Amino acid sequence: MAVAKNLSTFAIAEMLQVDPGSVANWIDQGLLQAHRTPGGHRRVVVANLIKFLREHKMPIPPELGTTPIRILVVDDEEALAKMVAKAIRSQNPDYEVTEANDGFRAGTLIATIKPDVVILDLRMPGVDGYEVCRMIKGQEETAHAEVIAMTAFPSPESEKRILDCGARVCLAKPLDLDELLGEIEKSL
């Protein structure tokens, strides 16, 4: 059975075998991200429902599919991007890890693969990492993605700025891979 891209509270309730009021409460409490139709009805993007279920350690119904976790590593330093991708794959071979070494490829991949986690270098030639983060978090289809920012020039100001743009955390380069892998797990 094909699942609609946007689900009603009743469809979610039926799928999860809970009361529709529970789904509405999750939305009203900000636990489950949703939007309203012009008629005032709540709708939830499938990716947001899956994220909610994972966060709350609830089983994912088979009709939602078991899509693998998609992670995008965005860094103009190709060697670093490959090293990070390799570390992620070795931690969990089921993750789909993709690399982008320039802003154009990053934008294309964000739009097409709709990653669950984006590891984003803040300073790349011709790319404003803050704006990329704002764009990811501002688009309905990608807002579910957790952004883990990284920078070779850490400062309290840059950290506050990227967190204000929607990133979950900002890590300093050179990266501590164990810390990064831990942050990825916390994001899922």
Do 148 and 172 have their domain in common?
yes
Which residues lie across from 45 on neighbouring strands? Answer: 6
What is the number of domains present in the chain? 2
**pLDDT tens, 75-127?**
999 999 999 999 999 988 878 999 999 989 999 999 999 999 999 999 999 88
CATH number of the domain to which 135 belongs: 3.40.50.2300
Q: Which among 23, 49, 64 is the end of a domain?
A: 64
Specify if 24 maps to a domain: yes
pLDDT at 3: 58
- HSE-up (13 A, CA, CB side) for residue 60: 16
Do 157 and 89 have their domain in common?
yes
Do 60 and 76 have their domain in common?
no
Q: For 165, which DSSP code? A: T
**What CA–CA distance (Å, rounded) separates 76 from 82?**
11
Cα 117 to Cα 99, 163, 183, 185, distances in angstroms: 12, 15, 10, 10
Q: Angle at which helices 9-16 and 20-28 pack, to 10 degrees?
A: 120
pLDDT at 54: 81
Do 110 and 159 have their domain in common?
yes
Identify which of 12, 98, 102, 10 has the alpha carbon closest to the alpha carbon of residue 58. 12
Q: Which among 64, 80, 110 is the end of a domain?
A: 64
Q: Which domain holds residue 158?
A: 70-187
Residue 2 has pLDDT above 50, yes or no: no
Do 120 and 82 have their domain in common?
yes
CATH number of the domain to which 60 belongs: 1.10.1660.10
Specify if 161 maps to a domain: yes
* Burial 84-111, CB ≥16 within 10 A → b, else e: bbebbeeeeeebebbbbbbbeebbebbe
**What CA–CA distance (Å, rounded) separates 71 from 137?**
15
**What average pLDDT does the structure give for the chain?**
92
Specify if 79 maps to a domain: yes
Specify if 1 maps to a domain: no
Whole-prediction pTM: 0.69
Residue scoring higher pLDDT (58 or 25): 25
Specify if 176 maps to a domain: yes
